[in-house]
Amino acid sequence: MLAAVASRTRNKSATTVLSLAMPFLLSAASASTTTNPHPLSPFPRSQNNSRVHRLQLPARRLPSFPAVAPGASFAPLPQRLGMASLAASAAAAAEVTHLTQRDAAEIDEQLMGPLGFSVDQLMELAGLSVAAALAEVYKLNEHARVLVICGPGNNGGDGLVAARHLYHFGYRPSICYPKRTPKPLYSGLVTQLESLSIPFIPVEDLPNELPREFDVIVDAMFGFSFHGTPRPPFDHLIQMLVSLSDIQNPDKRPAIVSIDIPSGWHVEEGDVDGGIKPDMLVSLTAPKLCAKKFTGPHHFLGGRFVPPPILNKYGLQLPPYPGTSMCVRIGKAPSVEISSLRENYISPELLESQVMSDPFDQFLKWFDEAVTAGLREPNAMALTTANKEGKPSSRMVLLKGVDKQGFVWYTNYGSRKAHDLCENPNAALLFYWNEMNRQVRVEGSVEKVPEAESDKYFHSRPRGSQLGAIVSKQSTVIAGREVLQQDYKKLEQKYSDGSLIPKPEYWGGYKLTPTLFEFWQGQQSRLHDRLQYSQREVDGSTVWHIERLSP
């Protein structure tokens, strides 16, 4: 709970996720395909208004944008931190500071005093971090119905803010707020939610069968500053969540998410009276002592905004946050049954009547949309080659040019892929844009690009990349990383005067000339769209023929 009270003592602190979803409209992306004068355009146009092969990709990483319904535009969803969060959890599982009630209160006082944070800032950070953590674990396509139960104080305010953000993420929140706080901050939050037509449900109108009505329940009743025994109606609400958490089969009950402290727990001693057993705990600023007693599968921390004076004074050991996120999984990541991992894709239909007649144009349209959506390295592609015995090998490379003649990438001519292509000049490319539920397969024959073209591209690269290409005898065995580092330093010194770095003879480009394209769009119940373009001879001319493949 990062929301503060009117006094200088708050009961929580929090954080947010900076990389959250923003709207992605196919129509806007399509427009950028036809008119794209910006110098950072991935496909700048030449003077004759045709596409040229050079790619200039913006160095950025923005959120993900799955779509919502057949025929609809791409709609916003929270970014999936997924693997990034899990990767950071190993470090986060190390010694993480747990706060006493006194230290937690003092930290809030200092944040709102000499460190300049306002009450509404902290509450906003808290609610946003809770919404982002919830969205990472409980995906929209299976957990859209969320009930937020709010108490009268700061924890309740955090819940109100979380509900607003969940609404904008695409969830369908409802709110139970029995004891409304009349202060302007809280009244303003209620007004914001009412303007979004988010329903407020009185306690007496809560359905008897909550599992039928809600997929997730957010416990935002009481935080670490609460003392005493909960009064009506919160005693009843807490017992309702206790009874739900006692249901062993998680498929038959809503998931329970507690903000900072499970309501009814002692802030330091934990669950001393047989209280709520939440599935997720979102600790804020730093976990409180009671979090050591949390046994649920999902423990997240928010609070990347904590400034150095707080870290130093209290000796806080906090985990590193992945990327630009301000939420991080802490503790042991839950075990996963691999066979149960699945996504039910929700996307616009991909219809034959809607795609371009030329597969290159269709690829450029989808590529522009991937760039517009801010996907990380949309030009990354899996390149599959095979040697003369037909033994395949795959690796990721970066597309560096495309036009109506083919797809271009650069590499070391001594690498395994180069040896394969020398023996068997047929290859396949795969572009996978996970956030958009899309992939593109391309098959064809490969040849080297002209030496002048390779030389021009080589000298357009950063000098460090040029030196790296010289140092690396790709795919050969070396004694250790220090060999590369030593050779690199020697070359750095050799060309420290800024003189031209010559392109090595063993480095250059390849171009794949396609004979087949397949455009794949993920759909619900695995009924995916697959449109294949293959070449046919018609009246002495080669044309592209479109046909639908069974998923």
Q: What token pair was written down for 155?
A: 């924890």
158 is in an annotated binding site: yes
224 is in an annotated binding site: yes
117 is in an annotated binding site: no
Residue 526 catalytic? yes
208 is in an annotated binding site: no
Q: What token pair was written down for 404?
A: 């109506």
CA–CA separation, 261 and 268 (whole Å): 10
Query: What is 333-384 written as a DSSP string?
Result: PPP--GGG-----------TTTS-SSHHHHHHHHHHHHHHTT-S-TTEEEEE
Catalytic hit among 376, 463, 526, 548: 526
CA–CA separation, 280 and 259 (whole Å): 9
Q: What token pair was written down for 160?
A: 């109100």
CA–CA separation, 256 and 263 (whole Å): 11
Q: Which residues contact 417 (CB under 8 A, 6 or more apart)?
A: 383, 385, 393, 395, 397, 411
263 is in an annotated binding site: yes
Which position has the token pair 């998931």? 255
360 is in an annotated binding site: no
219 is in an annotated binding site: yes
35 is in an annotated binding site: no
156 is in an annotated binding site: yes
Q: Residue 426: helix, strand or coil by DSSP? A: strand
Q: Which stretches does DSSP call E strand in 449-528?
A: 507-521
Please tell me the total number of residues recorded for the chain in this structure: 551
Say if CB 77 and CB 170 are below 8 A apart: yes
CA–CA separation, 379 and 399 (whole Å): 5
Per-residue b or e along 525-544, where b marks 16 or more CB atoms closer than 10 Å to that residue's CB:
eeebbbbbbeeeeeeeeeeb
CA–CA separation, 63 and 24 (whole Å): 10
Q: Which residues contact 129 (CB under 8 A, 6 or more apart)?
A: 2, 14, 15, 16, 17, 282, 284, 300, 302, 303, 326, 327
Q: Which residues contact 314 (CB under 8 A, 6 or more apart)?
A: 97, 99, 103, 107
Q: Which residues contact 453 (CB under 8 A, 6 or more apart)?
A: 509
260 is in an annotated binding site: yes
CA–CA separation, 528 and 439 (whole Å): 11
Rounded (5°) CA angle 214-215-221: 70
227 is in an annotated binding site: yes
Say if CB 252 and CB 243 are below 8 A apart: no
Say if CB 428 and CB 440 are below 8 A apart: no
Q: Which residues are annotated as a binding site for (6S)-NADPHX?
A: 154-158, 223-229, 260
Q: Which residues are annotated as a binding site?
A: 154-158, 219, 223-229, 260, 263
Residues with catalytic function: 526
